[in-house]
């Protein structure tokens, strides 16, 4: 939001200019009617001459031009005196919040992964200041991009990986690249995927609100290093809340996933109902807000006088040659 910090100073400067101009105009009028003025008879004949009228018109044009230049000079300088700028409200706690997007890219999720990534992109659009990261996993995990607050990069990456699930491929973004190890006879290792996402958080020695948005149908095949319950305990130890997004929200697998996320203080939603993305975003915001300390927002003021000072300087540069030419 923009405005003038010292708006009263701008008004004071403009008022002073108007007062000085008014006094000058009044003084000039008194000089024309001074008692020692010399009266000349039949001066109308002189004032009716074409040469006199042309000279008078040129004088008026000069005065109007000088007045316009003075106004063009004084007005920007008056605005600059009022400290123009913008004010931004920053929530310090939101800037300390980390959210990891954690996506299962196994075969059973292939048909819904594109929609989940697109939902991720929509969810991220509602965040402000948080750092976001993305981990893709099947029977092993790959960090697509680490925690970052560059939302342009985040949106580009999520859109690219979503297109990677299209029929014709996604160009440089292959969401399954490196996520499946043929020497491991297992797939959709939710426990290992969740644990990898937990380990992707940096600054573990700092007290920062952390959350994981876990997209999976919890259809596990084979065994990995971590079970879902072990990975959940790992998240609890590090005070990380886990929020689940399940494209198939029914049956025992969904119940197991819901129970695991609730143990961390989070919960699980299905993505088959209309408006699921908005519900996920609002619920995460509400649940996360409860763990943020009550810290007052910080209002940051940025002064932007450059353009006004430049206009004032330009007016001064134009004014001096005009005055010099007029004095000649």
Q: What is the pLDDT of residue 275?
A: 63
Pick from 107, 106, 268, 252: which is nearest to 192 by CA? 106
For residues 315 and 71, give the distance between their C-alpha atoms in angstroms, rounded to a whole number. Answer: 9
Structure tokens at 130: 């948080």
pTM for the full predicted model: 0.60
Distance in angstroms between the alpha carbons of the first and the last residue of the chain? 48
Answer left, alpha or beta for residue 83, where phi above 0 means left and psi between -120 and 50 means alpha. Answer: left
Q: What is the pLDDT of residue 261?
A: 93
Structure tokens at 79: 């605005």
**3-state SS class at 241:** strand
Which pairing describes strands 131-137 and 141-148: parallel, antiparallel, or unpaired? antiparallel
Q: What is the pLDDT of residue 313?
A: 84
Q: What is the CA radius of gyration of the chain?
A: 35
Q: What is the pLDDT of residue 194?
A: 94
For residues 191 and 108, give the distance between their C-alpha atoms in angstroms, rounded to a whole number. Answer: 16
65-101 burial, b for 16+ CB within 10 Å, e for fewer? Answer: eeeebbebbbbbbbbbbbbbeeeeeeeebbebbbbbb
Q: What is the pLDDT of residue 232?
A: 95
Show pLDDT as tens, one digit a residue, over the chain (328 residues).
Answer: 667 778 788 888 888 878 877 786 777 666 555 555 566 666 666 667 777 777 777 777 777 777 777 777 888 888 888 888 787 766 555 556 788 999 998 877 877 788 778 877 877 777 777 888 999 989 888 999 999 988 888 888 888 888 887 755 546 788 888 888 888 888 888 999 999 999 999 887 777 788 898 988 888 888 888 999 999 999 999 989 998 888 888 889 999 999 999 999 888 888 766 666 677 777 777 666 655 555 566 667 788 888 888 888 887 787 777 777 666 5
Q: What is the pLDDT of residue 28?
A: 61
Beta strands in the chain (DSSP E): 2-4, 84-90, 98-104, 131-137, 141-148, 210-215, 240-246, 268-270, 298-303
Residue recorded with tokens 């292959």: 174
Angle between helices 110-125 and 151-163 (to 10 degrees): 160
For residues 6 and 310, give the distance between their C-alpha atoms in angstroms, rounded to a whole number. Answer: 19
Residue 308: partners with Cβ closer than 8 Å, 6 or more residues away: 76, 77, 79, 80, 84
Pick from 279, 224, 214: which is nearest to 247 by CA? 214
Q: What is the pLDDT of residue 50?
A: 79
By the 10 Å C-beta count (0-12 exposed, 13-18 middle, 19+ buried), 195 is classed as buried
DSSP string, 11-31: HHHHHHHHHHHHHHHHHHHHH
CB 244 within 8 A of CB 133: no
Which pairing describes strands 84-90 and 141-148: parallel, antiparallel, or unpaired? unpaired
All domains of the chain in start order, with CATH = 2-32+42-88+302-327 (no CATH), 94-289 (3.40.50.410)
């Amino acid at each position: 939001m923009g405005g003038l910090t010292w708006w009263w100073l701008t008004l004071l400067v403009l008022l002073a200019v108007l007062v000085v101009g008014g006094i000058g105009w009044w003084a000039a009028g008194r000089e024309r009617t001074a008692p020692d003025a010399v009266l000349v008879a039949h001066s109308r004949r002189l004032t009716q001459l074409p040469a006199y009228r042309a000279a008078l018109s040129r004088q008026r044009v000069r005065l109007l031009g000088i007045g316009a230049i003075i106004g063009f000079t004084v007005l920007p300088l008056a605005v600059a005196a009022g400290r123009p700028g913008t004010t931004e409200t920053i929530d310090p706690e939101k800037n300390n919040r980390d959210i990891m997007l954690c996506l299962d890219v196994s075969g059973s999720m292939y048909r819904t992964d594109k929609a989940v990534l697109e939902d991720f992109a929509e969810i991220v659009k509602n965040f402000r200041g948080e750092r976001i990261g993305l981990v893709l996993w099947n029977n092993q995990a790959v960090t697509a991009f680490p925690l970052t607050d560059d939302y342009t990069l985040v949106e580009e990456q999520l859109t690219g990986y979503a297109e990677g699930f299209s029929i014709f491929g996604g160009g440089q973004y292959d969401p399954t690249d490196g996520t499946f190890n043929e020497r491991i006879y297992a797939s959709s290792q939710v426990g290992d995927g969740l644990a990898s996402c937990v380990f992707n958080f940096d600054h573990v020695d700092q007290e920062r609100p952390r959350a994981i948005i876990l997209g999976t149908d919890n259809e596990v095949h084979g065994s990995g290093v971590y079970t879902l319950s072990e990975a959940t305990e790992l998240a609890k130890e590090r005070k990380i809340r886990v929020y689940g997004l399940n494209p198939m929200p029914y049956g025992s697998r969904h119940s197991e996933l819901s129970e695991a996320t609730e143990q961390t203080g989070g919960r699980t939603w299905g993505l088959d109902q209309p408006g699921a993305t908005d519900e996920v975003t609002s619920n995460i915001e509400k649940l996360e807000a409860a763990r943020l300390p009550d810290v007052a927002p910080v209002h940051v003021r940025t002064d932007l006088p450059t353009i006004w000072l430049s206009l004032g300087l330009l007016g001064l540069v134009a004014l001096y040659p005009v005055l010099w030419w007029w004095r000649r």
